[in-house]
Amino acid sequence: MVLALEIRYPKSMNELHWDSTYEIVKALEAAHPEADLESLSLGELCRLVVELPTFVDDPALANDGILKDLLREWYEERLI
């Protein structure tokens, strides 16, 4: 028996860009609820973002500031 797992993204999500911090975090949490944020490297976070099906921005535009903001927002979102 094979079970298919469907990831549902919030309906308000359209194309994601690096400045869509909150929307990216919501999509990451939906796609990777098991992610260990304490040990997640910025490189791994970048890969996870770029692999999101609705992410359309240029991966080369990522920088430590953007990635740290995403990680902080993701961490804070889990605290709620």
Residue boundaries of the structural domains of the chain: 21-79
For CA atoms 49, 14, 23, 16, the dihedral sign is positive
CATH number of the domain at 21-79, out of 3.90.550.10, 1.10.10.600, 1.10.10.2520, 1.10.1660.10? Answer: 1.10.10.600
Which residues have a Cβ under 8 Å from the Cβ of 66 and sit 6 or more positions away? 18
The predicted structure's pLDDT at residue 15: 96
User: pLDDT grade, residue 2 (50/70/90)?
Assistant: low
Would you state the pLDDT for residue 11? 46
Q: Please, are residues 9 and 50 in contact by the beta-carbon 8 Å criterion?
A: no
Phi, psi torsion values for 16, nearest 5 degrees? -100, 140
Please report, for residues 1, 5, 26, the alpha-carbon distance to residue 22 in angstroms, rounded to integers and kept in the order given: 37, 24, 6
- Percentage of residues of the chain with pLDDT beyond 70: 84
